[in-house]
Structure 1
Amino acid sequence: MGALAIVLMAPNLRAQNGGDTLDFQLRTDKTVSNARFKPDKSGKRKLSEAAQFFKTLHNAGNDDQFVLQRTQTDNLGITHRLYQQYYKGIPVEGAQYAAHGHQDEIETVNGEFAKVKIAGDQPGVSEKSALALAQKFVGAKKYKWEDAQLQAHMQKMGHAGYSPKGSLVVTRDERQAGRPWRLSWKFTISALEPESEQLVFVDAWDGHILDAVSLLCNTNAPGTAETLYSGTRNIMGDSWSGQFRLRETRNNVNISTLNALRGTSYGAAVDFTDNDNNWTAAEHTANWDRAAPDAHWAAETVLDYWQTVQGRNSINGSGLPVQNYVHFAVDWDNAQWDGVGNAMRYGDGNPAKLYTIPFVALDVVAHEFGHGINQYTANLKYEKEPGALNEGFSDIWGAVIENWADPNKQTWLIGEELGFIPLRSMSNPNAFGQPDTYHGTNWVNVDNCTPVGGPTGNDYCGVHTNSGVLNFMFFLLAQGGAGTNDIGNAYNVSGIGIFEAARIAYIAESYFLTPNSTFADARNAFINASHALYGPNSCESIATSNAWYAVGVGGPFAPSGMSISGPNHVCGTSDPFGITSLPPGAIVTWSKDGPVDIDNPNSNTTTVTQFDYGWTTLTATVTSPCGLNATITSAPIQVGNPYMVGPIETSSNGLGAGENLCNHDYDYDDWVNTMFITVNPAPPAWDTWTLHWEMYGPNGLAMSWTGTNPNLGLPFIMPASQEPGWYNVDAWITNSCGQTSDYYETGFYYVDCKGASRFSMTVYPNPATGGNLQVVMEEPEAAKLPANAKVASSEQITFTLYDMKMTSMMRIWKVPSGQKKHLLNTTGIKAGQYILVMTKGSLKRTQQVLIK
């Protein structure tokens, strides 16, 4: 059958305010009733400074103040701050304003701001006189504070009792045209004969009664209703002028169900009434009036679901009143959410068309309520793909709430109670002309589509048709299913249940979608929500990815975020290894290579035990009953002590191992060498390895030194005083296990070239302090130099200060030759160890110095 163009939501017609606001609603007096804001990049819109923000928002004067009443943070992490308006230090009755947002940013505000103008703030009538006037107005024979037993009971319960105490407030004169603001005494008058509880407001200037509010007659009155679609149900109404009407306050949210009299003006709507709050079919059959209790009970049920299951306070999350208008328009076979008036309206059906009875079934009411939820969360644009998502979410809430309230109804059919044929099927969208696959059969191509509404339009580019894709995805997510979709993808989805699927849908809609979101965005939103709620590799996340794959959006589930956690090294028996982001119910099997044994190969966590030294890699195979199958490999893990491979390599500005230093150092200076060692494998960045070196020569231990980076080399100085001969090197490494690995290497042959006079250099003080370093020179006699030495006594002497690796030159001093002592200024040089090199012609001397 062809697609039905039943429009269940009017496009949002509210005016958009530019600049900082996303939504800006005004009351008839031009005060702001509700506003939502864009992210605050300036950081000036702070929740902690909401009172000042309200003053700016309302252009309030110096006499207006906002005083914080309470602060609450809900289970979604949203903070709500409620303020009472004061005028010249006096509370304004009923004028409260609230700010809402995450952390310290105002995102939404709502409430009532009163433009108060009164002549003065001092009463002309005393509290005692005003109380007498209030009692005269009530006219009781006996008051509860006059009954000693009642007073004693109240005091026993921790209350002050019934004795009225007046408080000054600013309130409207509800009994005068124009409802002017007046200074008032406010009393709670508790009468016993006849019984009543009333708030009485007495004009503080002339004593006339401004208003009286019954605390009994305006409270909820339990009743019953024989509904059109859901049998006999308990409802709440309120007592009013000797009758009952479909109005109530439910968990601090006002619900009203009014009779639109088949017109389209909210202002002309009137109350439905009943004599005893037992709304029977016999009493209310005429004109389809039985539809009113249906709409009212359904609104109660939907509000209860959102508050008790999802923790949401009404449509906007902040207690927005729920307004129902039944008998809306003439022969109207539809229902709508009005995004401007924040109201739901229901037609009675059209006798000349397919649907001839009122559109007030539970899933229809929940659907329209869902459009309101969307307006205050994702606010999906009502056209093309965003519009199809908007419709799909409303169908989701219709099905979810119908199942929650009455599982015996047909959950996966939408509007099945409205006539002989449902509006849509979520379990089989194709049956009613919708697609069950993105770009599959029945898909409305939205490319180059111009959205047009109305009976002759294109349903804003198929929003009620393409919503079938989201509907079927949600059905599979909740119930599961297997098959092949229209584009050839074979799928198998394990259902997670409608409750869990609804949790994911709500988080996705609330936090991860924006007005122009597409089906691809929706897939990401659902996946993000499933990760946040259940973990990235949970059965719920697996089902979410696979359900979207089933409708042709994205690929099947792929593991996310799993890795092997645990120590980087094993010293004997390791600390435990585990898996990050491991979902509940998963099964882990461990394997390895390298010199360790797996202690618990079939456990979610395991330790390993070393039997040799080297490196190992662990592999974990992770499976779960709902289809997870992943193989994870660790990074290399150090086991025991490190090991080294030869040879040890040495370098001295071009010298190779075993070379005669005299062939290169004609002045027999102390020569700076760098020694390297090859370590296999290379030391890891996370571990601290210490290299220990000892060099042995003809006379035993010649020198020793340590370093912490074996593959960058260690500089050392070979003193010219060492005896010639073969020099051997021992090197070993200490790592975090506290173990060592030895390596022995025959080193190089060092020739001292004795027989020539020394060209000596003495440096003092060493360590150098006070910014000066003194060098004393003893120059050799030319006759005793080697034949190939080139020395000219008139040559300039250069002193160069290097870092210990001889890679950075710190400072140069040039001094004349022929002086025995030279004073070098070290001011400004950072404290530390350095190498001082003296050159004169081809002669060179090297000395390690310490500067403090």
Structure 2
Amino acid sequence: MMLGSLAATTAQAQDAARIQNKVLGEDNQPVLVQFSAEGKAAYRGVEGAQVLRQQLALTNADQMVKRHVETDQLGFTHEKFAQYYQGIRVEHADYTVHAKGGTVESISGDFEKISGLSTTPSMSASAALTRALAHVGATKYMWQTGEADAASFRPEGELVFVRDARVSNAKSPIVLAWKFNVYAAAPISRAYIYVDARTGEVVLQDNIIKHTAATGTFATAYSGTRTFNDGTTTGGYFLREGTTRGLGIETYNCKKGNSYTAATDFVDADNSWTEYNNANFDNVAGDAHVGAQATYDYWKNIHGRNSYDNAGAKIKSYVHFDDTPGDGVGYENAYWNGSVMTYGDGATRFRPLTSLDVCGHEIGHAVCEKTANLTYSNESGAMNEGLSDIWGASIEAYAVASLGFTSGGVKAKSTWLIGEEIDKQQAALRSMSDPKSLGQPAYYKGVNWYTGTGDNGGVHTNSGVLNHWYYILAVGKSGTNEGGGVYSVTGVGLDAAAKITFRMESVYMVASSTYSQARTYAIQAATDLYGSTSAQVKAVTDAWFAVGVGAASGGTTTPTYCTSKGTSQSYEYIDLVNWGSINRSSGSDAGYYNGTALSTSVGAGTSQTIYFSAGFPTGTAYTEYWKIYIDYNQNGVFTDAGELVVSGSSSSSGTLSSTITVPTTAKSGSTRVRFIMSDNSATTSCNSYSYGETEDYTINITGGTLAPPAITSLTGGSTVLGNEQARVLEVYPNPATNQLRLTLPGQATSVQITDVRGARMTNVSLADGQVDISRLAKGMYTISVSNGEKVFHQRFVKE
């Protein structure tokens, strides 16, 4: 037994020595693991699947199936794997092994820890499809149109595991679901629809068609007179460029209809196309065509990418599209449908939607689909939209600077405005330099942040945070953010910002990535490109801090903190943390919540009152031990003198408070504060413990330089001071075998012990402050002790 324990401990120590840095997601699974020199040596020449099996602790039920391998311009190979559980695809869960010269440098991605889920559906695919179609609610579907290839659009069900997106956090349940690709013709939509294979409820809609807005020539309409490549045909020239750019660029005329197969070529006899500047706005065909060419050129010349799929895919565009022909109203949108670009002519809100940044935006969705494939809902969907805005802006700037594009429409081109040339009613659709001016947030979960379910969880609103991060990274900015944090970012320029962002998207991001994970991956991308101590890494980190995601650099890379997590929240969890602008009420967060994107500003030498409370789902308030740590010297640990700032215990469900003084010598800048609530007084800042929860947040210290404050105890409600004589129930030893000793205010007058079912135990006795538990069976129990005035509760284990 001793030898077995020693062997296990040695193996764990060896594994830990191989790891230089590990970043955990909100589900406490690693999203990035970087290996030390020892780890790189150990994993040299080792297959990626073996590395993942060891580092992700895969079971026999887990499979990581290799999808493909890519090699980038830095000499890295990226071996990409898809996760399966019991042979069924775990949707959006992918992991990548990054190696250089045959040595594994790091791994990154999303791994879903699954156990005990059934692989047998309770509902047939046909019954689930009926539910999916009812959810879409279209009047006609593509397979019903009579088009030549209509039958190919009929959905086929695929069984997958997927998170229920109706619960928009990392703790949402994973369910077995039928997945359908549903393409509707009227009204136009295309999405993956996931139907719970047990209940028949739609748990996720992941849009394939992604719109520019909620409803968005030759002498082009928007970019002046452009020369372009086309082809020859009967009667003259048509808008089909051969294979100069990948497999070609082609543009077609839907003639105000909604059929792709009925679309025709634009043809011009002398290749001057001047007659297309007409009342029908046929000149927008030129915008779509040169926009697609400029987009191809940008990806090829800046990122070395051959079309959106890096395999030369043909870019086909359709203009004069109308979703409901004959209604007299033009189509107020543009979209990528998974294979082609589609542009409407606009109506009351928009001019024809073929402006250059819209072209770049929509083809950006195609790039995302072929790389990170970010799920189109909530934070991942917002970043999907944000990345498309980033590429729309970058392509517009590139075309103006490098290709000589000019402004030819009603409005001038502006890099940091999206859709400025097509919008009839306001300055633009979105502003990357000032998101709040057009209704978007410039700060994570700040002003204008959308929390509802509309627009797939606010994907066109909450994208403002990523947009503003990119603007700050490229151009630079100084100021005070909404969390009170002071920042100053020196811009790295559009070229470097774009390279960092695309590496973040194409190498590290996965379908389920969050803003917090995007920060981790952007810093890693900048490290790969420019080095860990580079100005670019500092700018990336500080730009994220400016928009409320993570801490500032402090001149160095952000420290990595140890793991702290409760394994069970059946009886208690943290339900409130309130400190300045941090004010979060919550239910159970599965043992750990990463709230570092939430921050408040505090002055060195000032008195600060912190409020917090416990939630008790069973209705019984147990004695809980609270500890609050602040990393005042920002060195990545909480073990330095004075960093345990609050310590005490309470059996209250009310709001507790504690007043601390921030030392005048605390280091200025952003740092981490950790709240721990545990049923075990021995719980420290870095360990896994049985019952309770840990939550991390960020404070921004101003005016400080480093000093140990006194430990502060809890006050408020029925709280007990941790440094005074005990005023709550303590039981020891715990676990116990025969006798349980009690410490409480006053003298115990009666006791009651119940098991985990709530059944009362009668075979116990109380004498001289001790309880005889020798006749209890092994297991977990709750003891309730009265002192004649108050009843106290505590849990213990009988061995």
TM band (smaller chain)? 0.3 to 0.5
| Structure (1 or 2) with the larger CA radius of gyration | 1
Provide the TM-score with structure 1 as the length reference. 0.39
Provide the TM-score with structure 2 as the length reference. 0.41
More RCO (CA 8 Å, sep 6+): 2
